Amino acid sequence: MRNPIIHVVQHLAPGGLEVMALELARAQAAHRPTLVLSLEGDADSAVAAWPRLAQHRDQLLFLGKRPGLDATLLPRLVALFRRLKPWAVHTHHVGPLLYAGPAARLAGVKRRLHTEHDAWHLQDAKRRAVVKLALRLARPVLVADAPHVAAAVHAAIGAQPAVVLNGVDTARFAPGDKAAARAALGLPQDVPLVGVAARLEPVKGVDLAVAAMALLPPGALLVVAGDGGQAQALRAQAAALGVAERVRFLGLVQDMAGFYRALDVYCLPSRNEGLPLALLEAQSSGLPVVATRVGGVPAAVDPLSATLVPPEDPAALAAGLQAALAGHGGDPRGFVLAHASLEAAAGAYLTLAEEAA
């Protein structure tokens, strides 16, 4: 494949950044050939760990980066880019920027873009120095995926990124047959369902959602899609709080559109976030959302239907969920259609790439 758009990520494992790169590549494929290049790993292992990748396999490349600093990676990337002659190289996060950004410039790729999906890492002085150096070497068009990320990047390194909000596929994530969606997941038909989709790690705050369930009146069920290091601890927490029967752990769900259709309310209890795709997917599916006021969350929600609560506050989360289950106004799907569609994001990046040539 020659003259593709190449999106470069550190690894291909379930996560918002990786999903966004895959979705951008899929949407932009209507205009140009696209590839997603993972610095780490190999195709067989990645697909086995994340079956969703099987549908993208023809678009995926893996370089098997060695742990730590890999001196062989830069020349291999330069050779790859010279062979494929990319129309554009788009790096996501600092590792791809450090390796693939300068490699694209050395290979003569004119259209170079880099997206910062969060700015937490720039709080570290060494990381700031690395990013500044990589930006000087690569000279990409710098983009942030949310206004708060752009402000943090500017404050940390003095560069002013363009802002392109993450976008979701509004045709895929749409309201549908709730009964069929629940049946497919083995969920009850006659109870209110609150959903969380997240890696089961502390930053995602799923423990706060479990704690909130203990404060809600009996009746509602919490349904958790995702896996991670806290899986057993969260099950133990639910049992200790006496809500084990009211919390269902589904593991990694492949049909996320069906997951959202099964719900009545979506909950995002994170301790920190960028601009969460899950919030956009849930709202595109017509769901009201209850979320912690962290990171880019305020920019990602319909102000009329969403409820924002402080982080680390299960009582406030429970109150928000109870109110949302009782009814809501606003138009969450209309908000996403107007502000955060995948088509708009893919088109904005194409325009920035054109302007960079």
Residues 197 and 117 in one domain: no
In a domain, 107, yes or no: yes
Between 14 and 160, the more confident residue is 160
pLDDT of 275: 84
Domain count, the chain: 2
| Confidence band of 340 (pLDDT split at 50, 70, 90) | very high
Residues 192 and 310 in one domain: yes
In a domain, 173, yes or no: no
Residues 325 and 215 in one domain: yes
Task: Find out whether 36 and 56 touch, Cβ atoms under 8 Å.
Answer: yes
Question: Which residue do the tokens 């930053």 mark?
Answer: 203
pLDDT of 206: 98
In a domain, 125, yes or no: yes
pLDDT of 15: 82
Kind plus residue range of the DSSP H or E element containing 249? strand 247-251
pLDDT of 123: 86
214-260 confidence digits (pLDDT tens):
999 999 999 999 999 999 999 999 999 999 999 999 999 989 999 99
In a domain, 172, yes or no: no
Beta bridge partners of 265: 194
- Angle in degrees, 0-180, between the axes of helices 206-213 and 231-240, rounded to the nearest 10: 20
Query: To the nearest whole number, what is the mean pLDDT of the chain?
Result: 95
Residues 29 and 107 in one domain: yes
Q: End-to-end CA distance of the chain, in Å? A: 21
Residues 96 and 126 in one domain: yes
Percent of the chain with pLDDT over 70: 100
140-186 confidence digits (pLDDT tens):
999 999 898 999 999 999 999 999 999 999 999 999 999 999 999 99
In a domain, 320, yes or no: yes
CB atoms inside a 10 Å sphere around CB 54: 12
Q: For 328-355, what is the mean pLDDT? A: 94
CB atoms inside a 10 Å sphere around CB 48: 11
Residues 199 and 108 in one domain: no
In a domain, 192, yes or no: yes
Residues 9 and 127 in one domain: yes
The pair of three-digit structure tokens given for residue 92, joined into one six-digit string: 């996501």
Interatomic CA distance for residues 150 and 230, integer angstroms:
31
Residues 154 and 239 in one domain: no
The pair of three-digit structure tokens given for residue 63, joined into one six-digit string: 């370089």
Interatomic CA distance for residues 289 and 200, integer angstroms:
19
pLDDT of 260: 98
Look up residue 119 and give its DSSP letter: -
CATH of the domain at 118: 3.40.50.2000
Sorted by sequence, the CB contacts under 8 Å of residue 95 that are 6+ apart come out as: 10, 39
Q: Phi/psi of residue 252, each to 5°?
A: -75, 120
| Confidence band of 296 (pLDDT split at 50, 70, 90) | confident
67-97 confidence digits (pLDDT tens):
998 999 999 999 999 999 999 999 999 999 9
38-64 confidence digits (pLDDT tens):
999 999 999 999 998 999 999 999 999
Sorted by sequence, the CB contacts under 8 Å of residue 311 that are 6+ apart come out as: 205, 208, 269, 270, 271, 292, 293, 294
Sorted by sequence, the CB contacts under 8 Å of residue 151 that are 6+ apart come out as: none
| Confidence band of 274 (pLDDT split at 50, 70, 90) | confident
Sorted by sequence, the CB contacts under 8 Å of residue 45 that are 6+ apart come out as: none
94-125 confidence digits (pLDDT tens):
999 999 999 999 999 999 999 998 888 888 89
Q: Is the pLDDT of residue 328 over 80?
A: no
Q: How far is CA 263 from CA 29, 177, 183, 223, 326, in A?
A: 31, 11, 12, 9, 14
pLDDT of 193: 98
Interatomic CA distance for residues 311 and 309, integer angstroms:
7
Residues 335 and 345 in one domain: no
Residues 156 and 48 in one domain: yes
Residue in 26, 14, 21 with CA at minimum distance from that of residue 51: 14
Residues 155 and 201 in one domain: no
282-293 confidence digits (pLDDT tens):
999 999 999 999
Residues 235 and 349 in one domain: no
Task: Find out whether 154 and 174 touch, Cβ atoms under 8 Å.
Answer: no
Task: Break the chain down into helix, strand, coil percent, rounded to 5.
Answer: 45, 15, 35
Query: Structural domain of residue 253, as residue ranges?
Result: 178-339
Task: Find out whether 320 and 290 touch, Cβ atoms under 8 Å.
Answer: yes
pLDDT of 266: 98
Task: Find out whether 341 and 167 touch, Cβ atoms under 8 Å.
Answer: yes
| Confidence band of 22 (pLDDT split at 50, 70, 90) | very high
Sorted by sequence, the CB contacts under 8 Å of residue 327 that are 6+ apart come out as: none
In a domain, 295, yes or no: yes
Kind plus residue range of the DSSP H or E element containing 116? strand 112-116
In a domain, 159, yes or no: yes
